[in-house]
Amino acid sequence: MLMSMHCTNLSYLMSVTKVSGRDLARYLNVDNSLVSKWKNNLRPLSKNTSYLKKLSLFFLETKDGLYLPAVLELLKTYYPNQSFEKKEERVQHLSHWLTQPYERAAFIRSYTTQHGLLANQKYFSVYHGDEGRRDAVLFFLDTVLHSKVPKKLKLVSQEDMSWMVRDPLFLQEWKSKLSAILQKGHQIEIIHWVSRASNALEDIITQWMPLYFSGNLTSKFYPSYITPDIPGTLFIIEDSLMILGMEGDSPKNRYTAMFSDSFSLQHYQRIFNHALEKCPPLVEIFNVTLDVPAIFTQLSPYSLHKESISVSPFPGFQTMPIELLDEILVSSGINTTSKERCLQYYHQLKIANNGFASREIYSKESLIQALSKQEYIYSDLSLIAGETIKAGHDQVLTHLRHILNTLNDSSDYQVGLTSEKIPFTVYVDPDQYVLSWSPSQSPYLMMAKEANVLKAFFHKYTDFWNSIPTVDKDKDVLRNMLNKKIMY
Protein backbone atom coordinates (compact mmCIF):
# COMPACT_ATOMS: atom_id res chain seq x y z
CA MET A 1 0.00 0.00 0.00
CA LEU A 2 1.34 3.44 -0.97
CA MET A 3 0.36 6.78 0.47
CA SER A 4 1.55 10.38 0.78
CA MET A 5 2.45 11.73 4.20
CA HIS A 6 2.61 15.46 3.61
CA CYS A 7 0.05 18.18 2.97
CA THR A 8 2.38 21.21 3.25
CA ASN A 9 5.92 22.04 2.21
CA LEU A 10 6.73 22.74 5.87
CA SER A 11 5.60 19.24 6.80
CA TYR A 12 7.86 17.75 4.15
CA LEU A 13 10.84 19.90 5.17
CA MET A 14 10.44 19.02 8.86
CA SER A 15 10.20 15.32 8.00
CA VAL A 16 13.38 15.04 5.95
CA THR A 17 15.42 17.24 8.31
CA LYS A 18 14.05 15.40 11.37
CA VAL A 19 13.05 18.70 12.97
CA SER A 20 10.33 18.35 15.60
CA GLY A 21 7.48 20.77 16.11
CA ARG A 22 8.72 21.33 19.66
CA ASP A 23 12.20 22.38 18.46
CA LEU A 24 10.75 24.76 15.90
CA ALA A 25 8.28 26.24 18.40
CA ARG A 26 11.08 26.78 20.93
CA TYR A 27 13.21 28.60 18.34
CA LEU A 28 10.30 30.81 17.25
CA ASN A 29 9.08 31.28 20.84
CA VAL A 30 5.55 30.24 19.92
CA ASP A 31 3.18 27.54 21.13
CA ASN A 32 3.71 24.08 19.63
CA SER A 33 0.06 24.03 18.52
CA LEU A 34 0.73 26.92 16.11
CA VAL A 35 3.52 24.99 14.42
CA SER A 36 1.19 22.00 14.17
CA LYS A 37 -1.45 24.14 12.46
CA TRP A 38 1.10 25.44 9.93
CA LYS A 39 2.38 21.94 9.32
CA ASN A 40 -1.07 20.44 8.74
CA ASN A 41 -2.40 23.40 6.73
CA LEU A 42 -4.97 24.30 9.37
CA ARG A 43 -3.51 27.80 9.40
CA PRO A 44 -1.75 28.17 6.03
CA LEU A 45 1.52 30.05 5.90
CA SER A 46 1.37 33.17 3.75
CA LYS A 47 3.58 36.13 2.88
CA ASN A 48 1.83 38.00 5.70
CA THR A 49 2.77 35.45 8.36
CA SER A 50 4.86 37.38 10.87
CA TYR A 51 7.12 34.43 11.65
CA LEU A 52 7.84 33.51 8.02
CA LYS A 53 11.32 35.06 7.79
CA LYS A 54 12.41 33.63 11.14
CA LEU A 55 11.01 30.27 10.10
CA SER A 56 13.20 30.35 6.99
CA LEU A 57 16.25 31.39 9.00
CA PHE A 58 15.81 28.34 11.24
CA PHE A 59 16.41 25.98 8.31
CA LEU A 60 19.12 28.16 6.75
CA GLU A 61 21.27 29.06 9.76
CA THR A 62 20.67 26.96 12.88
CA LYS A 63 22.99 24.16 14.00
CA ASP A 64 25.90 25.75 12.13
CA GLY A 65 24.08 25.49 8.82
CA LEU A 66 23.42 21.73 9.10
CA TYR A 67 20.33 21.94 6.91
CA LEU A 68 21.64 24.59 4.47
CA PRO A 69 23.12 22.31 1.74
CA ALA A 70 19.96 20.21 1.57
CA VAL A 71 17.70 23.30 1.54
CA LEU A 72 19.71 24.83 -1.30
CA GLU A 73 19.47 21.60 -3.28
CA LEU A 74 15.71 21.66 -2.86
CA LEU A 75 15.39 25.35 -3.80
CA LYS A 76 17.54 24.89 -6.89
CA THR A 77 15.21 22.10 -7.97
CA TYR A 78 12.14 24.28 -7.47
CA TYR A 79 13.71 27.57 -8.69
CA PRO A 80 16.30 26.44 -11.28
CA ASN A 81 16.95 29.91 -12.74
CA GLN A 82 17.36 31.88 -9.51
CA SER A 83 20.45 32.97 -7.58
CA PHE A 84 21.14 31.77 -4.02
CA GLU A 85 24.50 33.38 -3.35
CA LYS A 86 23.24 36.01 -0.91
CA LYS A 87 21.51 35.36 2.40
CA GLU A 88 18.60 37.64 1.42
CA GLU A 89 18.02 35.63 -1.76
CA ARG A 90 17.92 32.35 0.17
CA VAL A 91 15.48 33.72 2.73
CA GLN A 92 13.27 35.15 -0.01
CA HIS A 93 13.09 31.92 -2.02
CA LEU A 94 12.62 29.62 0.98
CA SER A 95 9.90 31.90 2.39
CA HIS A 96 8.11 31.86 -0.93
CA TRP A 97 8.40 28.08 -1.21
CA LEU A 98 7.01 27.54 2.29
CA THR A 99 3.86 29.43 1.32
CA GLN A 100 3.25 27.39 -1.84
CA PRO A 101 0.87 24.40 -2.06
CA TYR A 102 2.54 21.02 -1.62
CA GLU A 103 2.77 19.68 -5.17
CA ARG A 104 4.86 16.57 -5.67
CA ALA A 105 4.58 16.82 -9.45
CA ALA A 106 6.66 19.99 -9.54
CA PHE A 107 9.55 18.18 -7.90
CA ILE A 108 9.13 15.08 -10.04
CA ARG A 109 9.24 16.97 -13.34
CA SER A 110 12.33 18.94 -12.35
CA TYR A 111 14.19 16.02 -10.79
CA THR A 112 13.53 13.47 -13.52
CA THR A 113 14.43 16.02 -16.19
CA GLN A 114 17.83 16.51 -14.55
CA HIS A 115 18.57 12.90 -13.61
CA GLY A 116 16.48 10.73 -15.94
CA LEU A 117 15.37 8.54 -13.02
CA LEU A 118 12.01 7.15 -11.97
CA ALA A 119 10.18 9.27 -14.53
CA ASN A 120 6.98 7.29 -14.04
CA GLN A 121 7.32 6.79 -10.30
CA LYS A 122 5.92 8.71 -7.39
CA TYR A 123 8.30 11.15 -5.78
CA PHE A 124 7.59 9.75 -2.33
CA SER A 125 5.96 6.45 -1.36
CA VAL A 126 5.25 4.53 1.84
CA TYR A 127 5.25 0.74 2.20
CA HIS A 128 3.64 -1.00 5.17
CA GLY A 129 4.56 -4.14 7.07
CA ASP A 130 7.27 -6.73 6.48
CA GLU A 131 5.94 -7.54 3.02
CA GLY A 132 6.03 -3.88 2.09
CA ARG A 133 9.63 -3.62 3.33
CA ARG A 134 10.65 -6.57 1.19
CA ASP A 135 8.91 -5.10 -1.88
CA ALA A 136 10.69 -1.78 -1.37
CA VAL A 137 14.09 -3.44 -0.94
CA LEU A 138 13.69 -5.57 -4.07
CA PHE A 139 12.73 -2.47 -6.07
CA PHE A 140 15.81 -0.74 -4.63
CA LEU A 141 18.15 -3.59 -5.62
CA ASP A 142 16.61 -3.92 -9.09
CA THR A 143 17.15 -0.20 -9.66
CA VAL A 144 20.89 -0.76 -9.17
CA LEU A 145 21.00 -3.89 -11.30
CA HIS A 146 19.33 -2.09 -14.21
CA SER A 147 21.68 0.89 -14.01
CA LYS A 148 24.04 1.23 -16.97
CA VAL A 149 26.54 3.25 -14.92
CA PRO A 150 28.38 2.25 -11.71
CA LYS A 151 26.51 3.13 -8.52
CA LYS A 152 27.53 3.49 -4.89
CA LEU A 153 25.21 2.06 -2.24
CA LYS A 154 25.13 3.10 1.42
CA LEU A 155 23.47 0.64 3.81
CA VAL A 156 22.80 0.70 7.54
CA SER A 157 20.16 -0.90 9.75
CA GLN A 158 19.69 -0.80 13.52
CA GLU A 159 16.38 -2.69 13.29
CA ASP A 160 15.40 -6.22 14.11
CA MET A 161 16.12 -8.08 10.85
CA SER A 162 13.17 -10.46 11.11
CA TRP A 163 11.61 -8.85 8.01
CA MET A 164 14.52 -10.32 6.05
CA VAL A 165 15.16 -13.73 7.59
CA ARG A 166 11.54 -14.86 8.09
CA ASP A 167 11.05 -15.27 4.34
CA PRO A 168 13.64 -17.79 3.02
CA LEU A 169 12.81 -17.02 -0.63
CA PHE A 170 13.32 -13.30 -0.07
CA LEU A 171 16.56 -13.93 1.83
CA GLN A 172 17.90 -15.98 -1.06
CA GLU A 173 16.87 -13.29 -3.55
CA TRP A 174 18.49 -10.61 -1.36
CA LYS A 175 21.80 -12.51 -1.32
CA SER A 176 21.66 -13.23 -5.04
CA LYS A 177 20.96 -9.63 -6.02
CA LEU A 178 23.64 -8.24 -3.68
CA SER A 179 26.18 -10.64 -5.15
CA ALA A 180 25.17 -9.64 -8.70
CA ILE A 181 25.44 -5.95 -7.78
CA LEU A 182 28.99 -6.39 -6.48
CA GLN A 183 30.06 -8.57 -9.40
CA LYS A 184 28.87 -5.87 -11.79
CA GLY A 185 31.29 -3.45 -10.17
CA HIS A 186 28.89 -1.38 -8.07
CA GLN A 187 30.29 -0.28 -4.69
CA ILE A 188 28.65 -0.90 -1.30
CA GLU A 189 29.42 0.90 1.97
CA ILE A 190 27.76 -0.66 5.00
CA ILE A 191 27.67 0.19 8.69
CA HIS A 192 27.09 -2.85 10.90
CA TRP A 193 25.75 -2.89 14.42
CA VAL A 194 28.02 -5.25 16.37
CA SER A 195 26.01 -4.98 19.58
CA ARG A 196 23.61 -7.57 18.17
CA ALA A 197 23.34 -10.99 19.81
CA SER A 198 25.97 -13.58 18.86
CA ASN A 199 23.55 -15.55 16.69
CA ALA A 200 22.64 -12.37 14.80
CA LEU A 201 26.32 -11.62 14.21
CA GLU A 202 26.78 -15.17 12.94
CA ASP A 203 23.99 -14.51 10.44
CA ILE A 204 25.86 -11.40 9.30
CA ILE A 205 29.01 -13.48 8.88
CA THR A 206 27.20 -16.11 6.84
CA GLN A 207 25.44 -13.56 4.61
CA TRP A 208 28.18 -11.01 4.07
CA MET A 209 31.48 -12.87 4.20
CA PRO A 210 31.37 -14.32 0.65
CA LEU A 211 30.53 -10.84 -0.69
CA TYR A 212 33.77 -9.32 0.60
CA PHE A 213 35.75 -11.35 -1.91
CA SER A 214 34.39 -9.13 -4.71
CA GLY A 215 36.62 -6.31 -3.43
CA ASN A 216 33.71 -3.86 -3.83
CA LEU A 217 32.31 -4.03 -0.29
CA THR A 218 33.48 -1.71 2.50
CA SER A 219 32.18 -2.12 6.04
CA LYS A 220 32.46 -0.22 9.31
CA PHE A 221 30.74 -0.59 12.68
CA TYR A 222 29.20 1.48 15.44
CA PRO A 223 31.41 1.23 18.56
CA SER A 224 29.48 0.57 21.76
CA TYR A 225 30.27 4.06 23.08
CA ILE A 226 28.58 5.81 20.12
CA THR A 227 24.85 6.45 19.94
CA PRO A 228 23.79 5.55 16.39
CA ASP A 229 22.85 8.54 14.21
CA ILE A 230 20.40 6.38 12.25
CA PRO A 231 17.98 4.50 14.54
CA GLY A 232 16.17 2.57 11.79
CA THR A 233 17.08 1.34 8.32
CA LEU A 234 18.64 3.56 5.68
CA PHE A 235 19.50 2.27 2.21
CA ILE A 236 20.78 4.78 -0.36
CA ILE A 237 21.72 4.59 -4.02
CA GLU A 238 23.91 7.67 -4.13
CA ASP A 239 22.14 10.61 -5.82
CA SER A 240 19.39 8.32 -7.11
CA LEU A 241 17.06 6.62 -4.61
CA MET A 242 16.74 5.92 -0.90
CA ILE A 243 14.74 3.83 1.55
CA LEU A 244 14.07 4.95 5.11
CA GLY A 245 12.57 2.36 7.44
CA MET A 246 11.42 2.34 11.05
CA GLU A 247 10.18 -0.42 13.35
CA GLY A 248 6.62 -0.50 14.60
CA ASP A 249 5.14 -2.31 17.58
CA SER A 250 4.54 -5.31 15.30
CA PRO A 251 5.65 -6.50 11.83
CA LYS A 252 2.30 -5.30 10.45
CA ASN A 253 3.11 -1.75 11.57
CA ARG A 254 6.64 -1.61 10.15
CA TYR A 255 7.09 1.55 8.12
CA THR A 256 9.21 2.01 4.97
CA ALA A 257 9.44 5.21 2.93
CA MET A 258 11.06 5.56 -0.49
CA PHE A 259 12.36 8.91 -1.75
CA SER A 260 13.80 9.95 -5.09
CA ASP A 261 14.06 13.73 -4.69
CA SER A 262 17.51 15.28 -4.54
CA PHE A 263 16.77 17.19 -1.32
CA SER A 264 16.07 14.06 0.72
CA LEU A 265 18.96 12.22 -0.91
CA GLN A 266 21.50 14.94 -0.18
CA HIS A 267 20.30 15.29 3.40
CA TYR A 268 20.43 11.59 4.26
CA GLN A 269 23.69 11.06 2.41
CA ARG A 270 25.22 13.66 4.71
CA ILE A 271 23.78 11.90 7.75
CA PHE A 272 25.20 8.56 6.56
CA ASN A 273 28.61 10.04 5.73
CA HIS A 274 28.75 11.79 9.11
CA ALA A 275 28.03 8.47 10.84
CA LEU A 276 30.61 6.73 8.66
CA GLU A 277 33.33 9.14 9.79
CA LYS A 278 32.82 8.07 13.43
CA CYS A 279 32.92 4.34 12.72
CA PRO A 280 36.13 2.27 12.61
CA PRO A 281 36.54 -0.50 9.98
CA LEU A 282 34.71 -3.73 10.72
CA VAL A 283 36.36 -5.69 7.93
CA GLU A 284 39.37 -4.63 5.90
CA ILE A 285 40.01 -5.94 2.40
CA PHE A 286 43.47 -6.38 0.90
CA ASN A 287 44.66 -7.48 -2.52
CA VAL A 288 46.96 -10.42 -1.84
CA THR A 289 49.51 -9.46 -4.52
CA LEU A 290 49.23 -5.65 -4.46
CA ASP A 291 48.87 -4.94 -0.71
CA VAL A 292 51.66 -7.12 0.69
CA PRO A 293 53.23 -4.49 3.04
CA ALA A 294 49.80 -3.48 4.41
CA ILE A 295 48.87 -7.11 5.10
CA PHE A 296 52.16 -7.80 6.90
CA THR A 297 51.69 -4.67 9.01
CA GLN A 298 48.28 -5.93 10.18
CA LEU A 299 49.49 -9.41 11.12
CA SER A 300 50.43 -9.58 14.79
CA PRO A 301 53.24 -11.79 16.13
CA TYR A 302 52.35 -15.35 17.13
CA SER A 303 50.47 -15.25 20.45
CA LEU A 304 50.74 -18.92 21.41
CA HIS A 305 46.96 -18.94 21.73
CA LYS A 306 45.81 -22.52 22.25
CA GLU A 307 42.31 -21.95 20.91
CA SER A 308 42.92 -20.77 17.32
CA ILE A 309 40.97 -22.48 14.54
CA SER A 310 41.69 -22.83 10.83
CA VAL A 311 39.18 -24.10 8.27
CA SER A 312 40.28 -24.72 4.68
CA PRO A 313 39.63 -27.18 1.85
CA PHE A 314 43.28 -28.35 1.87
CA PRO A 315 46.28 -27.59 4.11
CA GLY A 316 47.80 -24.22 3.28
CA PHE A 317 51.37 -23.83 2.05
CA GLN A 318 52.42 -22.33 5.41
CA THR A 319 51.94 -25.77 7.01
CA MET A 320 54.68 -27.39 4.89
CA PRO A 321 58.40 -27.37 5.77
CA ILE A 322 60.42 -24.58 4.16
CA GLU A 323 62.58 -27.08 2.25
CA LEU A 324 59.50 -28.56 0.56
CA LEU A 325 58.13 -25.11 -0.30
CA ASP A 326 61.43 -24.11 -1.89
CA GLU A 327 61.50 -27.37 -3.88
CA ILE A 328 57.94 -26.81 -5.18
CA LEU A 329 58.66 -23.19 -6.16
CA VAL A 330 61.89 -24.14 -7.97
CA SER A 331 60.24 -27.01 -9.86
CA SER A 332 57.43 -24.66 -10.95
CA GLY A 333 59.99 -22.41 -12.64
CA ILE A 334 58.56 -19.10 -11.37
CA ASN A 335 60.57 -15.88 -11.54
CA THR A 336 62.66 -14.59 -8.64
CA THR A 337 60.24 -11.82 -7.67
CA SER A 338 57.28 -14.20 -7.41
CA LYS A 339 59.33 -16.72 -5.46
CA GLU A 340 60.47 -14.07 -2.99
CA ARG A 341 56.87 -12.92 -2.48
CA CYS A 342 55.78 -16.49 -1.69
CA LEU A 343 58.64 -16.90 0.79
CA GLN A 344 57.80 -13.55 2.39
CA TYR A 345 54.23 -14.72 3.00
CA TYR A 346 55.47 -18.04 4.35
CA HIS A 347 57.81 -16.45 6.88
CA GLN A 348 55.27 -13.79 7.89
CA LEU A 349 52.57 -16.42 8.53
CA LYS A 350 55.07 -18.42 10.54
CA ILE A 351 55.71 -15.34 12.66
CA ALA A 352 51.98 -14.59 12.95
CA ASN A 353 50.62 -18.03 13.83
CA ASN A 354 53.53 -20.49 13.79
CA GLY A 355 52.16 -21.84 10.51
CA PHE A 356 49.47 -23.84 12.29
CA ALA A 357 46.27 -23.18 14.19
CA SER A 358 45.68 -25.28 17.29
CA ARG A 359 42.72 -26.91 15.53
CA GLU A 360 42.59 -27.31 11.76
CA ILE A 361 39.63 -28.55 9.72
CA TYR A 362 40.10 -29.89 6.18
CA SER A 363 37.73 -31.22 3.54
CA LYS A 364 37.75 -35.00 3.06
CA GLU A 365 36.79 -34.56 -0.59
CA SER A 366 39.65 -32.14 -1.28
CA LEU A 367 42.16 -34.49 0.35
CA ILE A 368 40.91 -37.46 -1.69
CA GLN A 369 41.11 -35.44 -4.91
CA ALA A 370 44.63 -34.25 -4.15
CA LEU A 371 45.81 -37.80 -3.41
CA SER A 372 44.23 -39.19 -6.58
CA LYS A 373 46.12 -36.81 -8.93
CA GLN A 374 49.67 -36.90 -10.22
CA GLU A 375 49.82 -33.12 -9.81
CA TYR A 376 48.04 -30.82 -7.39
CA ILE A 377 47.62 -27.05 -7.86
CA TYR A 378 48.21 -25.02 -4.68
CA SER A 379 45.70 -22.23 -5.25
CA ASP A 380 47.05 -20.07 -2.38
CA LEU A 381 50.61 -20.18 -3.72
CA SER A 382 49.35 -19.66 -7.27
CA LEU A 383 47.51 -16.51 -6.27
CA ILE A 384 50.51 -15.06 -4.43
CA ALA A 385 52.92 -15.95 -7.22
CA GLY A 386 50.64 -14.71 -9.97
CA GLU A 387 51.02 -17.98 -11.89
CA THR A 388 50.08 -21.63 -11.45
CA ILE A 389 52.07 -23.52 -8.81
CA LYS A 390 51.86 -27.30 -9.11
CA ALA A 391 53.19 -29.97 -6.78
CA GLY A 392 53.84 -33.58 -7.71
CA HIS A 393 52.10 -36.47 -5.98
CA ASP A 394 55.15 -37.28 -3.84
CA GLN A 395 55.44 -33.64 -2.79
CA VAL A 396 51.79 -33.62 -1.67
CA LEU A 397 52.43 -36.79 0.35
CA THR A 398 55.48 -35.18 1.94
CA HIS A 399 53.36 -32.18 2.91
CA LEU A 400 50.71 -34.37 4.55
CA ARG A 401 53.30 -36.50 6.31
CA HIS A 402 54.72 -33.30 7.80
CA ILE A 403 51.28 -32.50 9.20
CA LEU A 404 51.05 -36.02 10.62
CA ASN A 405 54.47 -35.64 12.27
CA THR A 406 53.35 -32.34 13.79
CA LEU A 407 50.26 -34.13 15.15
CA ASN A 408 52.47 -36.78 16.74
CA ASP A 409 54.89 -34.25 18.20
CA SER A 410 52.41 -31.71 19.62
CA SER A 411 49.66 -32.46 22.10
CA ASP A 412 48.14 -29.00 21.46
CA TYR A 413 47.65 -29.58 17.72
CA GLN A 414 44.52 -31.28 16.32
CA VAL A 415 43.15 -31.98 12.84
CA GLY A 416 39.53 -32.69 11.93
CA LEU A 417 38.17 -33.94 8.58
CA THR A 418 34.72 -32.90 7.37
CA SER A 419 32.42 -34.08 4.62
CA GLU A 420 30.95 -30.59 4.33
CA LYS A 421 32.03 -28.33 1.50
CA ILE A 422 34.45 -25.59 2.60
CA PRO A 423 34.04 -22.62 0.24
CA PHE A 424 36.88 -20.48 1.62
CA THR A 425 39.73 -20.51 4.09
CA VAL A 426 39.19 -18.99 7.55
CA TYR A 427 41.73 -18.51 10.35
CA VAL A 428 40.43 -17.36 13.75
CA ASP A 429 42.58 -16.24 16.64
CA PRO A 430 40.03 -15.04 19.23
CA ASP A 431 42.54 -12.59 20.74
CA GLN A 432 43.79 -10.98 17.55
CA TYR A 433 42.02 -11.29 14.21
CA VAL A 434 40.09 -13.27 11.67
CA LEU A 435 41.62 -13.88 8.25
CA SER A 436 39.67 -15.28 5.33
CA TRP A 437 40.27 -15.73 1.64
CA SER A 438 39.21 -17.83 -1.32
CA PRO A 439 42.31 -17.98 -3.55
CA SER A 440 40.69 -20.02 -6.33
CA GLN A 441 37.92 -17.41 -6.69
CA SER A 442 39.26 -14.01 -5.64
CA PRO A 443 42.53 -12.08 -5.15
CA TYR A 444 41.23 -10.46 -1.95
CA LEU A 445 41.95 -11.27 1.69
CA MET A 446 39.49 -10.27 4.42
CA MET A 447 40.64 -9.27 7.92
CA ALA A 448 38.57 -8.34 11.00
CA LYS A 449 39.76 -7.37 14.48
CA GLU A 450 36.63 -6.11 16.28
CA ALA A 451 36.18 -8.05 19.55
CA ASN A 452 32.50 -8.99 19.10
CA VAL A 453 33.15 -10.20 15.57
CA LEU A 454 36.09 -12.31 16.74
CA LYS A 455 33.86 -13.80 19.41
CA ALA A 456 31.13 -14.58 16.87
CA PHE A 457 33.58 -16.16 14.41
CA PHE A 458 35.19 -18.20 17.17
CA HIS A 459 31.81 -19.38 18.41
CA LYS A 460 30.67 -20.33 14.90
CA TYR A 461 33.77 -22.35 14.03
CA THR A 462 34.07 -23.91 17.49
CA ASP A 463 30.56 -25.26 16.93
CA PHE A 464 31.73 -26.51 13.53
CA TRP A 465 34.68 -28.29 15.16
CA ASN A 466 32.47 -29.85 17.81
CA SER A 467 30.05 -31.12 15.14
CA ILE A 468 32.77 -33.26 13.54
CA PRO A 469 32.57 -36.90 14.68
CA THR A 470 35.32 -37.96 17.07
CA VAL A 471 36.57 -40.59 14.65
CA ASP A 472 37.30 -37.86 12.07
CA LYS A 473 39.48 -36.01 14.57
CA ASP A 474 41.58 -39.11 15.34
CA LYS A 475 45.24 -39.04 14.27
CA ASP A 476 44.92 -42.57 12.95
CA VAL A 477 42.45 -41.40 10.28
CA LEU A 478 45.04 -39.22 8.60
CA ARG A 479 47.72 -41.90 9.00
CA ASN A 480 45.42 -44.47 7.40
CA MET A 481 44.67 -42.13 4.52
CA LEU A 482 48.34 -41.58 3.82
CA ASN A 483 49.18 -45.26 3.95
CA LYS A 484 46.30 -46.47 1.80
CA LYS A 485 45.83 -43.23 -0.21
CA ILE A 486 42.08 -43.61 0.18
CA MET A 487 39.52 -42.65 2.81
CA TYR A 488 38.27 -45.77 4.61
pLDDT per residue over 321-357, tens digit each? 999 999 999 999 999 999 999 999 998 888 766 657 7
What's the domain count of the chain?
A: 3
Q: Is the model's pLDDT at 239 over the cut of 80? A: yes
Q: Are residues 223 and 87 part of one domain?
A: no
Mean pLDDT value of segment 363-372: 90
Q: Are residues 360 and 256 part of one domain?
A: no
Residue 108, in any domain of the structure = no
Residue 110, in any domain of the structure = no
Q: Is the model's pLDDT at 143 over the cut of 80? A: yes
Q: How confident is the model at residue 203 (pLDDT cuts 50, 70, 90)?
A: low
Residue 394, in any domain of the structure = yes
Q: Give the pLDDT confidence score for residue 129 in this predicted structure.
A: 86
Percent of the chain with pLDDT over 70: 85
Q: Are residues 233 and 359 part of one domain?
A: no
Last residue within a domain, chosen from 237, 259, 279: 279
Q: Are residues 385 and 347 part of one domain?
A: yes
Q: Give the pLDDT confidence score for residue 224 in this predicted structure.
A: 67
Q: Give the pLDDT confidence score for residue 210 in this predicted structure.
A: 85
Mean pLDDT value of segment 106-110: 39
Last residue within a domain, chosen from 54, 78, 102: 102
Q: Is the model's pLDDT at 360 over the cut of 90? A: yes
Q: Give the pLDDT confidence score for residue 114 in this predicted structure.
A: 38
Q: Are residues 312 and 218 part of one domain?
A: no
Mean pLDDT value of segment 230-251: 85
Task: Specify the CATH number for the domain of residue 212.
Answer: 3.30.870.10
Q: Give the pLDDT confidence score for residue 179 in this predicted structure.
A: 93
Q: What is the mean pLDDT of the chain?
A: 84
Q: Are residues 473 and 335 part of one domain?
A: yes
Q: Are residues 267 and 337 part of one domain?
A: no
Q: Is the model's pLDDT at 201 over the cut of 70? A: no
Q: Give the pLDDT confidence score for residue 431 in this predicted structure.
A: 86
Residue 111, in any domain of the structure = no
Q: Are residues 131 and 235 part of one domain?
A: yes
Residue 109, in any domain of the structure = no
Q: Are residues 381 and 464 part of one domain?
A: yes
Distances in whole angstroms, Cα of residue 396 to Cα of each of 5, 281, 367: 67, 38, 10
Residue 339, in any domain of the structure = yes
Residue 256, in any domain of the structure = yes
Residue 28, in any domain of the structure = yes
Last residue within a domain, chosen from 233, 259, 279: 279
Mean pLDDT value of segment 402-416: 87
- pTM of this structure: 0.69
Residue 322: which domain range? Answer: 286-484
Q: Are residues 478 and 330 part of one domain?
A: yes
Q: Are residues 333 and 239 part of one domain?
A: no
53-93 pLDDT tens trace? 999 999 998 877 788 887 887 788 778 888 888 999 999 99
Q: Are residues 275 and 291 part of one domain?
A: no
- Backbone dihedral region for residue 2 (phi beyond 0: left; psi -120 to 50: alpha; all else: beta): beta
Burial of 31 (0-12, 13-18, 19+ CB in 10 A): exposed
